[in-house]
């Protein structure tokens, strides 16, 4: 396929790079990558060894000594060039994202556009790494705070956004003066290798030292665990399940390291009697079936006032009946496959548990067979009637299952249902009632890191800090002041006088 050639993807690919140099390990196992779109074999990647890991870490330490001394605006210039290079490769890279992961072609291109956008954002951020000036209580003293680079920043990304989440971390960390090491999900390593090849052009042209942007493909049990335990890594950003994130937090906390965790979501949209349904329907459907329900911000629960419940249900079933499912490289199709057959089994198990608990499937849920569905990864998105307290509803099922939940009373009852799960990532309310909207955004409203009014749960902009609360992990990436997580804060006091007054008026005469 031409897009593979354009991105430098070979039939067999090495799995560890420090920028331009690739470690040539071939005896640690071979990841064979199959497309969920067709079930066809794409290429393979040789997994990295512990020796490879030591190589990239030591090279990263050496690179950091150089990179931290490069003025931040000049680091931003490198990121600007990375953005230009991503523009050049947007079409083939977005196509590979779609083909390797299974999301629609529009979403694949959109994911690369997010990478470009965060590069643009980071360029501006490189001139805005601001500290504050404080007033000292002591005469002839000046106080201020400033931010310094941390060192090696590791990004462990998930399969559902195989390139964008890395860029959210790596581009901000780069302008902050950190060096980057990326461990991609083993289900989608080819996109990471393609990005490393795109970066190589900028690295070579600017004579950037090996180790500023590194990549390692390896198993979580070996390479991943070494990262968690490694005191040479001051910050690790991990996107994944709550279970994996909890383990990572415990291990990293033992060595008093820092972490950014972007974990599970169980996102809901509240529909009040004052909902503009015409506006809400596209947000609901895209939120539930976009990326085949495999976004951490996917809409999983719809909390509907009883007075409009039947009307909403009818509209959703009509909309779902028009969803076209098929090869995501065909732009006419709305939804592609799940990532693999294991994800299909997880969805079927969830549907079975829902029925046992008393839920009812109103639409879909079947595994699709026949021409075009040979990979076994295609399903019909499901719509179900459920209650919020069901055990399966309390869990995050990474699949296109939308639970319809009825509420009575005022918006506070809906908010109670909304907050009645352990996850806290993204949330939304559709209403034209200002009182309802403001209550949802107040301290007694949504307990999520993202709360929207008349916008769905899915499709966050890079300019805002991205992340959630509770079992979602509490981390923040991307915009706003998320850059501070990639730096160490330092308070400075300068005495420009000739005496040494102590704080709090303490006298210490010698």
Residues with active-site annotation: 262, 296
Pairing status of strand 258-262 against strand 179-183: unpaired
507 vs 379: CA distance, rounded Å: 76
Neighbours of 135 (CB within 10 A): 7
285 vs 342: CA distance, rounded Å: 24
* C-beta of residue 49 within 8 angstroms of C-beta of residue 57: no
Query: 423 — phi, psi (to 5°)?
Result: -90, 160
Query: 474 — phi, psi (to 5°)?
Result: 85, 0
250, exposed or middle or buried, with CB in 10 Å at 0-12, 13-18, 19+? exposed
* Closest CA relative to residue 100, chosen from 217, 235, 194: 194
Sheet of 133-134, strands arranged across: 133-134, 141-149, 487-495
* C-beta of residue 285 within 8 angstroms of C-beta of residue 458: no
Q: Which residues are paired to 470 by β-bridges?
A: 423
385 vs 371: CA distance, rounded Å: 31
Note the residue count of the chain. Answer: 510
Q: Is 465 helix (H, G, I), strand (E, B) or coil?
A: strand
Q: Which residues are paired to 343 by β-bridges?
A: none
* C-beta of residue 295 within 8 angstroms of C-beta of residue 267: no
- Return the beta strands (E) in 292-434 as ranges: 299-305, 360-363, 382-385, 401-407, 423-424, 426-430
300 vs 226: CA distance, rounded Å: 34
136 vs 504: CA distance, rounded Å: 11
């Amino acid at each position: 396929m031409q897009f593979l050639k354009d991105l430098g993807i070979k039939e067999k690919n090495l799995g560890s790079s420090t920028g331009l140099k690739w470690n040539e390990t071939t005896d640690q196992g071979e990841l064979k990558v199959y497309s969920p779109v067709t079930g066809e074999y794409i290429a393979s990647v040789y997994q990295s060894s512990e020796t490879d890991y030591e190589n990239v870490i030591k090279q990263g330490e050496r690179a950091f000594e150089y990179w931290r001394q490069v003025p931040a605006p000049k680091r931003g210039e490198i990121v600007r060039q990375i953005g230009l290079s991503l523009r050049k490769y947007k079409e083939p890279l977005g196509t590979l994202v779609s083909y390797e992961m299974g999301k629609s072609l529009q979403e694949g291109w959109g994911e690369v556009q997010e990478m470009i956008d965060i590069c643009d954002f980071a360029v501006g951020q490189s001139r805005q790494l601001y500290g504050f000036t404080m007033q000292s209580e002591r005469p002839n003293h000046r106080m201020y705070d400033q931010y310094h680079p941390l060192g090696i920043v590791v990004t462990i990304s998930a399969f559902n956004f195989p390139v964008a989440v890395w860029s959210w971390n790596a581009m901000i960390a780069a302008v902050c003066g950190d060096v980057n090491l990326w461990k991609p999900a083993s289900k989608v390593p080819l996109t990471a290798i393609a990005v490393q090849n795109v970066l190589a052009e900028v690295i070579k042209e600017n004579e950037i030292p090996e180790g500023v942007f590194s990549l390692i493909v390896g198993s979580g049990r070996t390479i991943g665990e070494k990262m968690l335990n490694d005191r040479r890594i001051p910050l690790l950003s991990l996107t994944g399940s709550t279970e994996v994130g909890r383990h990572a937090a415990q291990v990293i906390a033992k060595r008093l390291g820092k972490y950014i965790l972007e974990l599970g979501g169980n996102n809901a949209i509240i529909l009040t009697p004052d909902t503009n349904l015409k506006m809400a329907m596209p947000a609901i459907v895209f939120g539930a079936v976009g990326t085949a329900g495999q976004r951490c911000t996917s809409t999983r629960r719809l909390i509907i006032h009883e007075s409009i419940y039947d009307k909403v249900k009818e509209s959703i079933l009509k909309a779902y009946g028009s969803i076209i499912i098929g090869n995501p490289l065909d732009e006419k199709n709305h939804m592609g496959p799940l990532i693999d057959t294991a994800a299909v089994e997880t969805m079927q198990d969830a549907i079975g548990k829902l029925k046992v608990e008393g839920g009812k499937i109103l639409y879909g849920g079947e595994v699709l067979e026949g021409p075009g569905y040979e990979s076994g990864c295609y399903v019909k998105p499901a719509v179900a009637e459920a209650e919020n307290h069901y055990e399966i509803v309390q869990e995050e099922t990474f699949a296109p299952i939308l639970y319809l939940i009825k509420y009575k009373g005022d918006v506070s009852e809906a908010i109670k249902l909304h907050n009645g799960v352990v996850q806290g990532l993204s949330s939304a309310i559709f209403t034209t009632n200002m009182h309802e909207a403001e209550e949802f955004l107040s301290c007694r409203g949504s307990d999520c890191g993202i709360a929207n009014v008349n916008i769905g749960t899915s499709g966050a902009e890079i300019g805002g800090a991205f992340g959630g609360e509770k079992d979602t992990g509490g981390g923040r990436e991307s915009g706003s002041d998320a850059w501070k997580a990639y730096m160490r804060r330092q308070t400075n006091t300068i005495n420009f006088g000739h005496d040494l007054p102590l704080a709090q008026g303490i006298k210490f005469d010698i």
